[in-house]
Structures are given as C-alpha cells and as structure tokens.
Amino acid sequence: MKKILFFFIALSLLTVSYAQNREGKKKEKKYNEKGEIIKTGWVFGPLPVVGFDSDLGFQYGITTDIFNYGNGKNYPKYDFKMNFEASTYTKGSSILRFYGDFGNVIPKSKLFLDVAYLTDKKYEFYGFNGYAAPFIDNAYLSYVNPLDQDSPVQIVDDPSVSSFLYNFYRRQIRVVTGFRYPIGFVDNLYYAAGIAFYNIKIDTVRLDGIENQISLYELYCKTGLIKDNEKDGGSVTQLRLGLIYDTRDNESDPAKGLYVEGTLAAAPDIIDKENYSYLTLTMILQHYVPVYNDHLTFAYRLGVQSVLAGNIPFYAVSNLNTMFYKKMITEVLGGITSIRGINRNSVIGAGVGWLNTELRYRALRFKFINQNWIIGCNLLFDAGMVIKDYRLHEQENAFVGLDENSSEIVENLLYTGERESLHTSMGAGLKVIMNRSFVVSAECAHALNEHDGNGLKFYIGFNYIF
C-alpha cells in the first residue's frame, strides 16, 4: 500500500510539471502575503489516474483539471474549474465523467455541471435500515436444487468461494446542473436552483461461474421488499431549490469559514409513470475552525437527508441530493463519500444523518515547478445512522409465506430485530495540495463495529471528503 501511495504522488508531481500558466515566463511572479505565487490565467493539470479504494479495487485511467484564475485577485480561489475523467477499477466499476464549476459565467454566481456514465459490475447492497439488516461475512446463498428456483435456499459457508451475496449490477447515467446567486440583502447568502436526471439500470451480477449463487437483491425481489416495477431500475428527474450560506476562504482546501445548505428536491414521476414521485430535504452544515492560523484546522460536517412526502424507489433512496458534488460517488451512507471505513452503501433508510470530523494539519509548504505545494495530514472520525426507516414493517415480515425450510434462513438474512444505532469509524489521511485547489488524498479508516465491515479500508484519490 505504501508503494502504491508513493507511486501515485510521484505521478502527480511529474505530470503536473507540465502545467502551463498563460502568463508565461516573461511576466514577473507576484506573491501574496503568505509568500505564495499568485496564479493567474489558465493552469492545466493532466494526470494519469492511479488510485485505490478498498471497496472498488485499484483504479487506473486518465484525468485532467483545467483551472482559470483570472487576474489572480481572488487567489487561491479560481474563476472556474473543469475536470475530465475516464477510469476503471479492478473490481468492475468504471467512470466516464465531465464536470465544470464556473464562477464567472454569470457575474457573482456559481454554475455547476456534472455529466457522468457510471457502471458497477458488483454494486454493493446490504439491505435496508442499517443494523436491522443482517451481515454475514464469507458466505453465499444458493438453492438446495440449483435447477429448481422453488426449492429451499441454503447458506453455504465456504471462504474459498467468492461470495456475491451483497452485490448486483448497476449502470447509471447522471446529468446534474445547478447554480447559485446572491440574494443581496445578506452577505454570503445565496439562493440556488438546479435540475438532475438519473437513468439507472439494475440486474443480477453478470459473471461466469456464479450461476448457483443467490444475491440479497434477488432475495429482496423474491420476498417483495423490492417491487417488480423498480427491480430493474428506472429514471429519476429532480427539480432542486435551495438556500446556501458560504463564508469559506477556499472551496478545495478551506482553512476557515462556514458552509450551510438546505435543498428541497422534488421528483415527479414524469418518465416511467410507476407512481414513484417524492420530495426530499437535504441539510448540510460544514464548519472549518482555525486552531492555529491556517496551519491547523478542525473541520466537521453534519448532514441530514429525509423523504418528506411521496413514494421513493429503492434505487433512488440512497442518492445524496445536494446542489453541488465534491466526490464522484454521490450515494450515502457508507464508504468514501460519507462514513469511511464501513461497507459502502450499507446504511440505507428513508432518512439518514451523519457526522464527519477531521483535524487537518498543513505540515509543509514549498514551491516546486512554479506551483505552490502543501503536504498535510488529517485525523478523522465518522458516524451516521438511519433516522427514518424504509419499508421496515415489510422487512420484519418478508419471510412469512415462504416454505418452512427456507423461512428461518431468509429471516436470518433479512431482519435482525436490532434497533438502529450509530455506525462509526475512525482513521487518518495524507494530503498533497497544489495551489490550494488540486488535492491528492490518501486515507485509511476502520469500522468500530464488525457488523459494518472488517479490516482497515484504504482510499486513494482526489479531494477532501468535504
């Protein structure tokens, strides 16, 4: 793992050495009060993608960041940023994405655009309602008679066989756009609006040699926890409206400030017409508290998302409906976007709440290849839980009506009888930051409850989690 991290950072340094500032070498460098080179104009950061995620495997591909700092008066803030990425993971996920963060298309506003095509050959699904869903490690489910799907089911505990109990295939097309604009009578207060479209295709895992295995997804479909008109996925169109208060000194690497967002997302079922219209509320509070100048920062994020009304399909219930995205993956809870160290997407409910805390230390600052660099580290603690259940009554009784030989086994896979409580993890990370706008991140975290996963999970990629 150390070799992977060093190789990833070395690639970052080598490829960013080609970053070109259109001011050219003829112009004299200007420095701010911190001794940093004030960046102006265009900066390009092409980079091979060499990452790692314990949930997804090794990542490889290409990406590039394109920044425009204008005349530099707002440095380290940029006028706009664009990113292109094409990459794949060794466990079967792939990414094709463009996003743009434009600050000056409309004066004083921010415009965001995200277009992505995402595939997961082994998308994780651990069931509904957190601790109410059992977790069985290193075992798989099959029919006693593989040729008869009406025969009883059995749990096979065989560590030598790769289990796909908690996986299904998912393909997602995502188009999200939004903007914010100052209200005017209060400094740093903005109204925001946006539109999001998702087209999701779901199927069983498509791999040779696992035909005899039954996934939890199939079991949920068989027992009616996942309905026939949602089991294959569908389309979601969201209209978003929100309020934002933002005093951060920097978006990519904040040292101080506050970010508060409240977003309503209305999703009328205008395409599939399967009676899946709903309304959600998402509330986010991010606070960056300077402990020692801008060298040491205590940062925390509180988040809540809940379905207020309507009928939400299972394939949309875990999607994070904020105005702007910082991470590629937008599902909560579990994994790199929300609770690091626990199984990805393992905490699903109609309402969820979570907390991320970090102590961030910017240990070393230097200039290299005409760029400003920071080496930093962070300690982290994450927590979250279901605060509004999703089909819990159906989950409690899903095994009723099955044959006697299967009912006990199915009950042990669908419902524990446990009350929901906090899912927690802790860990640490390392950061390499260029121009306070480009962040290479390496983190590791460990779940504090074995129900949420075993072992230390590693994540190597881009950006802070918040």
Beta strand 110-124 with 93-102: parallel, antiparallel or unpaired?
antiparallel
b/e map of 258-285 (b: 16 or more CB within 10 Å)? ebbbbbbbbbebeebeeebebbbbbbbb
Instruction: Examine the pLDDT at 420 and tell me if it is beyond 70.
Output: yes
- pLDDT at residue 466 above 90? yes
**Per-residue DSSP letters for 107-170?**
TT-EEEEEEEEEEEEEEE---SSGGGS----S-EEEESSTT-TTSPEEEE--TTS---TTEEEE
Position 205 pLDDT exceeds 80: yes
Residue with the bigger pLDDT between 4 and 90: it is 90
Confidence of residue 138 (pLDDT cuts 50, 70, 90): confident
The answer on pLDDT for 71 being more than 70 is yes
Q: Is 332 left (phi over 0), alpha (psi -120 to 50) or beta?
A: beta
pLDDT for 53 beyond 70: yes
344-359: pLDDT as tens digits: 999 999 999 999 999 9
Checking DSSP bridges between strand 110-124 and strand 423-434, what pairing results, if any? unpaired
Strands (E), 54-92: 57-68, 80-89
pTM above 0.85, yes or no: yes
Q: Residue 41: name the closest of 53, 29, 49, 54 by CA.
A: 29
Give yes or no for a contact between 447 and 425, defined as CB atoms under 8 angstroms apart: yes
Residue, of 148 and 116, whose pLDDT is higher: 116
Residue range 51-63: mean pLDDT, rounded: 94
DSSP 378-399: EEEEEEEEEEE-SSHHHHHTTT
Tell whether the model's pLDDT for residue 8 goes beyond 90.
no
Residues for the chain: how many in total? Answer: 466
pLDDT exceeds 90 at position 135 = yes
Other Cβ atoms closer than 10 A to 51: 23
Please tell me the predicted confidence (pLDDT) of residue 139: 84
- Quick one: pLDDT at residue 254? 97
How does residue 401 score in pLDDT terms, banded at 50, 70 and 90? Answer: low
Contact 120, 191 (CB under 8 A): no
Tens digits of residue pLDDT in 284-306 = 999 999 999 999 999 999 999 99
Q: Is the pLDDT of residue 27 over 50?
A: yes
Domain with 102 in it: 2-462
CB 344 within 8 A of CB 57: no
Environment class of residue 161 by beta-carbon count within 10 Å: exposed (0-12), middle (13-18) or buried (19+)?
middle
Predicted confidence band of residue 149 (pLDDT cuts 50, 70, 90)? confident
Q: Which one, of 352, 331, 321, 327, lies nearest residue 176 by Cα?
A: 321
Is 364 within 8 Å of 374 (Cβ atoms)? yes
Q: What is the pLDDT of residue 238?
A: 98
For 367-394, what is each residue's pLDDT tens digit?
A: 998 899 999 999 999 999 999 999 999 9
Whether 234 shows a pLDDT value over 60: the answer reads: yes
Contact between 465 and 429 (Cβ < 8 Å): no
| Own/partner pairs, 151-157, CB within 8 angstroms, 24+ separation | 152/403, 152/405, 152/406, 152/409, 153/214, 153/219, 153/406, 153/409, 153/410, 154/409, 155/409, 155/412, 155/413
Beta bridge partners, 181, equal 191
Given this model, what pLDDT does residue 404 score?
A: 62
The domain tally of the chain equals 1
Percent of the chain with pLDDT over 70: 92
CATH of the domain at 158: 2.40.160.50
Query: What pLDDT shows up at residue 431?
Result: 98
Give the chain's mean pLDDT. 90
